[in-house]
């Protein structure tokens, strides 16, 4: 890939920059402990979450992400025969600010910021991303969330919103944008429907047989243009390519 062809890097945030699987798993611990359920393993919980979250987002596309999470928590406890409380549900809904960044995110973003304009295209609300942005170490040139759009990826409207607004703000064309993301379901499938160039940050090691974690399974997988196991590897490659 010729990285010099691109002026903008658009990023998914949760799963790519923020370790949402650890965040989600940690946020489920209070209700699991409250019910003394040793059978609910990380893999089971994240797989169940993936289905509930994608269904909730599809059913209520204009709902704020904190409310999406609250409803997912309620449905999860019902499906798994767990007792819950209003406080437990609400705390899960408000857990995004406590989800950690990946260890390489800030370093990688600072490197990339030296050569590209950085854009967020995220499936959360504005306040949720604002809280997460504290851990990322850079100022993004544009931030587009599900709250701005009124829908959640993989809905194509989210990408259309980004294209329209980058065109208005920067005169950017679709060919100028390289999309960088972990989730095949949320990002690579819709991005490839728009014939975007994409970088797969394969943190789940899916390309080598890893599990889907908190991401809904994609039966017909898209073909990202390049694959990296982490963000810093991509950043080093993109910057060194630009220099040479």
Active centre residues (catalytic): 12
Euclidean distance between CA atoms 124 and 158, whole angstroms: 12
* Cα four-point dihedral sign 144, 145, 148, 151: positive
Torsion angle, alpha carbons of 105, 107, 111, 117, to 10: 40
Q: List 240's β-bridge partners, or say none.
A: none
CB atoms within 10 A of CB 212: 17
- Yes or no: say if 75 and 56 are a contact pair by the CB < 8 Å rule: yes
Residue at token pair 């025969």: 81
Residue at token pair 């080093």: 236
- Both tokens assigned to 60: 């209520």
């Amino acid at each position: 890939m010729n990285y010099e062809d691109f002026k903008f890097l658009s990023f998914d945030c949760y799963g790519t920059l923020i370790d949402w699987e650890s965040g989600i798993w940690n946020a489920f611990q209070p209700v699991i402990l409250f019910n003394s359920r040793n059978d609910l393993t990380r893999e089971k919980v994240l797989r169940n979450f993936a289905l509930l979250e994608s269904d909730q987002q599809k059913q209520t596309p204009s709902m704020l992400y904190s409310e999406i999470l609250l409803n997912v928590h309620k449905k999860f406890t019902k499906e798994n025969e767990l007792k819950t409380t209003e406080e437990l549900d609400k705390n899960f809904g408000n857990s995004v600010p406590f989800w950690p960044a990946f260890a390489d995110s800030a370093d990688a973003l600072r490197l990339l910021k030296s050569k590209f304009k950085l854009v967020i295209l995220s499936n959360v609300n504005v306040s949720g991303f604002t809280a997460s942005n504290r851990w990322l170490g850079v100022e993004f040139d544009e931030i587009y969330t599900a709250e701005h759009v009124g829908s959640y990826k993989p809905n194509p409207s989210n990408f259309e919103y980004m294209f329209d607004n980058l065109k208005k703000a920067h005169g950017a064309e679709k060919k100028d944008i390289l999309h960088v993301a972990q989730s095949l379901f949320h990002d690579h499938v819709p991005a490839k429907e728009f014939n975007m160039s994409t970088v797969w940050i394969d943190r789940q090691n899916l390309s080598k047989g890893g599990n889907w974690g908190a991401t809904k399974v994609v039966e017909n997988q898209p073909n990202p243009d390049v694959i990296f196991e982490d963000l810093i590897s991509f950043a080093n490659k993109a910057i060194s390519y630009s220099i040479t």
